[in-house]
């Protein structure tokens, strides 16, 4: 059973605007680094059931990829309590993804919101 949820243009907003951490992997089938990152992402999903792991196939969802300003795949986005806190292209090694997850979990979201409000 997969622990990674496939998102589309109809389900994306409702899934990223929830409490907790949501990681979204934007990928394409033709992308070698995407295929290499997939098992890393799935492994992290199995280790962190408290986090929603989701993916967007950019070939099947070009409008969503465009709206999210995806210019390179793979791109990983992280949301915490509905706030985008990370967005970068490139595949991560397992240790790098673990470090990213821990740093997102450690964020002070009041401070993040204050920084966003001050521009």
Catalytic residue among 4, 34, 52, 65: 34
Say how far apart CA 7 and CA 40 lie, in whole Å.
Answer: 19
Asked about 34 being catalytic, the answer comes back as: yes
Catalytic residue among 31, 52, 92, 101: 31
Coil, strand or helix: which one is 72? coil
In the sheet that 52-57 helps form, which strands lie side by side, from edge to edge?
4-6, 52-57, 21-27, 75-80, 83-89
Asked about 31 being catalytic, the answer comes back as: yes
* Residues recognised as catalytic: 31, 34
């Amino acid at each position: 059973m997969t622990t990674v949820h496939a998102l589309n243009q109809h389900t994306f907003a409702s899934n990223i605007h929830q409490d907790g951490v949501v990681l979204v992997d934007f990928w394409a089938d033709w992308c070698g680094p995407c295929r290499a990152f997939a098992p890393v992402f799935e492994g992290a999903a199995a280790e962190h059931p408290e986090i929603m792991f989701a993916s967007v196939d950019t070939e099947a969802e070009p409008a969503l990829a465009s709206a999210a300003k995806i210019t390179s795949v793979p791109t990983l986005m992280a949301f915490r309590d509905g706030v985008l806190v990370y967005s970068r292209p490139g595949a991560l090694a397992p240790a790098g993804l673990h470090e990213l997850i821990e740093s997102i979990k450690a964020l002070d979201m009041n401070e993040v919101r204050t920084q966003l409000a001050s521009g």
